[in-house]
Structure 1
């Protein structure tokens, strides 16, 4: 097989994977995560169920893949926030900025039930949450130690960054659970934004 054929094959595989992800996120948004089946996703993407399983072992794996793709985007947004912003404010505004840029991707926080965000039969929760927390902690640590940053006691910047990162993830999860419990309207809406802002305000006021 020539290099050209290999390149075209890889392009086709990438296009199929992207089509499945876009179809899934659209259906999750329109119909809800639980009510969307693998058959629905495959049909919307114009492929068979067998093809779906060549790319994703399950719906859960598709969702977690989207979440992991967001990790560097949120990290970059945190790094680009104004240096004078408090750490929690920087995380919140970075999260909302990412939602505006990548709303279909950020919808994974909403379209899956919080329990599935925390744990999945096909993928342990710890690596997913750890990667997300770790990326936030890295970005906050850089802010604390950079010239003009908000600062931290000598030798404690890494620890403080880790605490803020884990607190931020807890606030995000709390907002999502409240969003699900109250059956608020679709992902990325004003009601969810309000819940996120309220959750972070609780942390800042505590």
Structure 2
């Protein structure tokens, strides 16, 4: 008899396997060329099983990407106090790439480029959630650095956070303009570093 605990572990393992298979196939074939059937068959499950975990191929990516956002804010708060805001955000993103490579790879798959490039979609909570989380983290950092909390600080944190997300968005769009053979995680890291260097200038 399978216990509830074992069922949960099996479900978690299946979900992770689907995400990892999707990431690998998106990198190899591209987002548009990879079907739900392809992903399910790679894991040895049916399409019906896939849809028990994800409503769609798009949902598979967005769910994983959204899971990264609280981690970005946590890493920003954890950066050394002497780092300037943009440096802290950049280094937090690079730390994330080192520790959550699967999720970051999904961020640079085909779907997010559509989310980030379509004005109608980019106005949705996908990016707003990241902006708001960064805003709170940066406001905390500025307060701890001795800045007086209030409307002026809230505006400063908001501008810094939303500019940081704009730099990330530009990174994703520039990444997808590269020749296919140049779209590596290392290239994404390099572009992110350059984008935040531009902000600091």
Scaled by the length of structure 2, the TM-score of the pair is 0.88
Q: What count of residue pairs does the alignment treat as equivalent?
A: 199
The separation in 2 between residues aligned to 1:12 and 1:101, in whole angstroms, is 23
Change (3 A) 1:160 1:71: same
Alignment RMSD (CA, Å): 2.4
The separation in 2 between residues aligned to 1:120 and 1:48, in whole angstroms, is 35
Change (3 A) 1:171 1:152: farther
Q: Is the 8 Å Cα contact of residues 116 and 173 (structure 2) preserved in structure 1?
A: no
Residue aligning to 2:101: 103
Q: 1:28 aligns with which of 2, 26, 44?
A: 26
Change (3 A) 1:109 1:26: same
Matching of residues 18-167 of structure 1 within 5 Å: 18-113=16-111, 114-117=113-116, 126-146=124-144, 149=145, 151=147, 155-167=151-163
Q: Is the 8 Å Cα contact of residues 108 and 172 (structure 2) preserved in structure 1?
A: yes
Which segments of 5 or more consecutive residues in structure 1 lack a partner in the other structure?
A: none
Residue aligning to 1:178: 174
Higher helix proportion: 2
Aligned-residue offset at 1:193: 2.1
Q: Is the 8 Å Cα contact of residues 143 and 149 (structure 2) preserved in structure 1?
A: no
Aligned-residue offset at 1:120: 11
Per-residue CA deviation, residues 165-191 of structure 1 (Å, 9 max, x unaligned), is: 1111111111111111123524421x2
Aligned-residue offset at 1:88: 0.8
